[in-house]
Amino acid sequence: MKRVSLGSVFVGILALLYFVVPLIATAQFSFQVGSGQPFWAAYASILRSAQFWQSLRLSLGMALAAVAIGLIVVVPAAYWAYLRAPRLKPWIEFVSILPFVVPPIVLVLGLVRLYATGFGPLSSRVTLLMGAYGVVSLPYMFRSVDTGLRSMNVKGLTEAALGLGASWVRVMFRIVLPNIRQSLLGGAFLTFALIMGEYAISSMLGFNTFGVYMLLTGQTEAQGAAALSIIAFILVWIFVAIMQWVSRDALTTVGGSR
């Protein structure tokens, strides 16, 4: 077999330093609490704070809403394109990846300009936040639905089910969704990782999401900021690990909540 090359080892060590040292530094900083307190004091005070749980719940709830929007919006269109209108598939793909060209800060500016001054239910901040998150996660939801549909026999299964007298609703819930469940879960957890720490959109709309909570806490408590950073890293790790475990697809996000 090939021997390990010196150049690669050098690159590997540099990468290890660059990626691991900040984590160590952050963890070390989060433990530097005043004397007389246990080293985990910063974590304890965060985990005890009601705001932490409220903001996390809000962010994850909104991520769930974004996933739901993605399902309602992408699954029917992509399914029908696979079944009857393959010509339209590039168009659906085009619309689904279009959010990439509209940075979050531009998206929220556009939404606020157009709807904030009154468009009935559309002017509600929650609707705007959910809509914006739906847009931001649309490319990833599309990709996971597309992967799922590609790996199943859409035409054959649908025609067999319809031929046996199943209704369209039944086809959707008993055939299509269960078949693409795995890739959908992958897309869902990627969306969770993406939305969890989102800041630009939610701060502009005046929500106390996890990202906003992190910034506000970090401005006043240095150790708390470091501890939150570690907690966020662990959460992202959990979501990405589940995502890679269920979908075996090295999906990644571009743009989004950076």
Interactions with other proteins, residue window 141-200 (CB under 8 A): 190, 193-194, 197-200
Q: Are 211 and 257 in contact (CB under 8 A)?
A: yes
CA dihedral 27, 33, 60, 49 (to 10 degrees): 170
Kindly write out the interface string for residues 64-83 of this chain, putting x where it contacts other proteins by CB under 8 A and - elsewhere: -----x--xxx-xx-xx---
| Greatest pairwise CA separation for the chain in angstroms | 74
Quick check: 155 and 123 in contact, CB under 8 A? no
Considering the complex, state which of residue 44 and residue 106 has its C-beta at the smaller distance from other proteins: 106
Which residue, 62 or 108, has its beta carbon nearer to other proteins? 108
Binding track over 123-142 against other proteins, x by CB under 8 A? --------xx-xx--x----
- CB-based burial, 218-249: b 16+ in 10 Å, e otherwise: beeeebbbbbbbbbbeebeeebbebbeebbeb
Q: Which is nearer to other proteins, 23 or 44 (CB)?
A: 23
Angle 177-181-186 from CA coordinates, rounded to 5°: 140
- Least distance from other proteins to the Cβ atom of residue 136, Å: 10
Q: Which residues in 88-127 contact other proteins (CB under 8 A)?
A: 88, 92, 95-96, 98-115, 122
Q: Which two tokens stand for residue 134?
A: 């739906």
Question: How many residues of this chain bind other proteins (CB under 8 A)?
Answer: 93
Is 241 within 8 Å of 147 (Cβ atoms)? no
242 binds other proteins (CB under 8 A): no
Contacts to other proteins from residues 45-64, by CB under 8 A: none
Nearer Cβ to other proteins (119/178): 119
| Rounded distance between C-alpha atoms, residue 209 and residue 211, angstroms | 5
Q: How far from 232 is each of 175, 179, 198, 228, CA to CA, in Å?
A: 37, 32, 11, 6
Residues 207-236 within binding reach of other proteins (CB under 8 A): 211, 214-215, 218, 225-226, 228-229, 232-233, 236
Q: How far is the CB of 107 from other proteins (least distance, A)?
A: 7
Cβ 253 to other proteins, closest distance in Å? 6
Residue nearer to other proteins on the CB measure, 101 or 164: 101
